[in-house]
Structure formats: structure tokens, C-alpha cells
Amino acid sequence: MYRRIGVLVLGCLLAMAPVTAQAAGQATTVKTLTFNIHHGQGTDGKLDLERTAKAIEASGAAVVGLQEVDKYFDARSNWVDQPAWLATRLGMTYVFAPNLDWDPLEPGKPRRQYGNLVLSKYPILESRNTPLPKVGTEEQRGLLEAVLDVNGTPVRFANTHLNNATPAERQQQATAVVNLLGAATEPTLLVGDLNAIPTTAEIKTLTARWKDTWTEVGIGLGFTSSVPLPTRRIDYQLHSPALKATAASVPSTFASDHYPVAATFTLG
């Protein structure tokens, strides 16, 4: 079930205010980003969360879906609470969904968590994380949904990271995503690292329900993985008809082994 999200000020009450004031009947512009951040480790092998934050900041996005985010997870990320750090650094509200939730190595320490993160300059009204189908010992994946108040209009923003091993498991996960989101009444965005190229059956399952932003307004191939010489488009922003895509890009950065995908939509 949905859980109510408390007001997460994170040092800046202005983060809870609408990003832009809109006159009655005027369309709202919404900038979004999806980014597999590889727990802040860049192509140079260095952990640099500030570099990750700068890449997000440069996009101008008001709503961001991140994958591969650590929370007190491991020495690889210096045991940092990355969701809270990024939210504070960027002045945004957030909701984090740990799909791996492990006991600490030492009693009394925080739980070790890893999963998906939504950052928003709009208030987050509700959220839920739903585990997706998995086979055997494969990594647990999930669909994180956040309902945002975008200048008075509820918008459902969903963030996921599908299995990277088998098309059959990804197909099960894609079908589950359609079942979870398909009946949403709000304008809907589905973003994430889907680990499959556009011609695969699992991606076609999703694009049969939502529009592929890159196909609509992107220029070029839109390859996102693996940096520095990407050869595949596996990171997506998909949307319902209530949102109109006006721009999409793949910003260049060495902050991760993926490039992010940025997009701009009009609403209303």
C-alpha cells in the first residue's frame, strides 16, 4: 500500500514549493532525468558523488530517477547514505527504495541497502515500492512509484532497474510493470535502466503501453551503455499521452558507466 511521505525539507523549505508558477490554463514544463549512477563510481574507477551531483544539476531536471544507489551499503561507497547526501546537496525531496536490504556487518550499525531513488523539486505526496518477479538467486528488482504534486496536478513518476541477465526474467518484470502502472489515472512517467534494447520483446511490452520519448524527440542513436564507448540504448523515459515530450538528450559524463537520459515534457 502507499505510504504517506513526510515533508522532507533537507535544509531548504523552498524545495517543497512548485518549481514554476503557472497561469490558469497554461501548460507546465517538466524536466526529468534518469541515471544509473553505479553508486557514484565513474569510468576512472574513482568514487565521486559530487561528480554525480554535478551531472544531475547540469541537466536542470526537477524530477530524477536514479538506479544503483547505496545506503550504508559497503566500503565501495564509503558507507555513505547516498540518498540523503544527494537530496541535501541538490536541495530536493526524495524517496528511496531498497531492493537489497541486508543486516549490518556489525551489531548496532545501519542496515545495508541498495536500490532506486527518486529526487524531486516538487512535493512527493505518496510512494510505494513493489518487488518485481525474480528467478532463483537473481538480484531482487523493484518498481518505485512516487506521486508528485506538479503545480497542483498529480503526476506518477515510476523508476525501475530490470534484470541484466535473462530476457525471460525481464519479460516477466516488464509484464508486472504494465500490470502495476497500466491503470494509473495520473499522467505517468516510467524511467530507468531496462537492460534491453528497443527491439526486444520486453521493451515492446512497455512501449505498447507508453510512448518512448527518445523515439519521439531524441536525435541520434541515444546510446547509454557502456561508457566511454556506448553501443546500446538501454536507459529509457516512457510516458503516457497526458505528457507531451518536447526534447530528449543523452548528456555526456564520466560519472558512471551509463550516460543519463534527460527529457522535457509539457503537462496540461
Contact 113, 153 (CB under 8 A): no
Residue in the structure block whose three cell numbers are 495520473: 186
Beta carbons of 16 and 124 less than 8 angstroms apart: no
Asked if residue 67 is part of any domain, the answer here is: yes
39 inside domain: yes
Distance CA 208, CA 193 (A): 18
> Does the residue 235 lie in any domain?
yes
Task: Provide the number of structural domains found in the chain.
Answer: 1
Cα separation values, 196 from 37, 43, 226, 260, 268, Å: 17, 21, 13, 15, 31
Helix (H) or strand (E) holding 56, with range, is: helix 49-59
> Which domain range does residue 84 map to?
29-267
Q: Tell whether 4 is covered by a domain.
A: no
- Helices within 63-145 (DSSP H only): 82-90
With respect to residue 12, please indicate whether it lies within any of the assigned structural domains.
no
- The pLDDT assigned to 54 comes to 98
Determine, yes or no, domain membership for 230: yes
Amino acid residing at 40 = G
Is residue 6 one of the residues assigned to a domain?
no
C-alpha cell at 125: 505526496
Locate cell 535502466: which residue?
193
pTM listed for this prediction: 0.91
CATH number at residue 262: 3.60.10.10
| Position 10 in a domain | no
pLDDT value of residue 268: 79
For residue 168, the Cα-to-chain-centroid distance in whole angstroms is 23
What distance in Å separates the CA atoms of residue 27 and residue 186, rounded to the nearest whole number?
16
Phi, psi (rounded to 5 degrees) for 181: -105, -15
Question: What three-state secondary structure class fits 30?
Answer: strand
pLDDT tens, N- to C-terminus, the chain (268 residues): 444 444 343 344 334 444 444 455 689 999 999 999 999 999 999 999 999 999 999 999 999 999 999 999 999 999 999 999 999 999 999 999 999 999 999 999 999 999 999 999 999 999 999 999 999 999 999 999 999 999 999 999 999 999 998 999 999 999 999 999 999 999 999 999 999 999 999 999 999 999 999 999 999 999 999 999 999 999 999 999 999 999 999 999 999 999 999 999 999 7
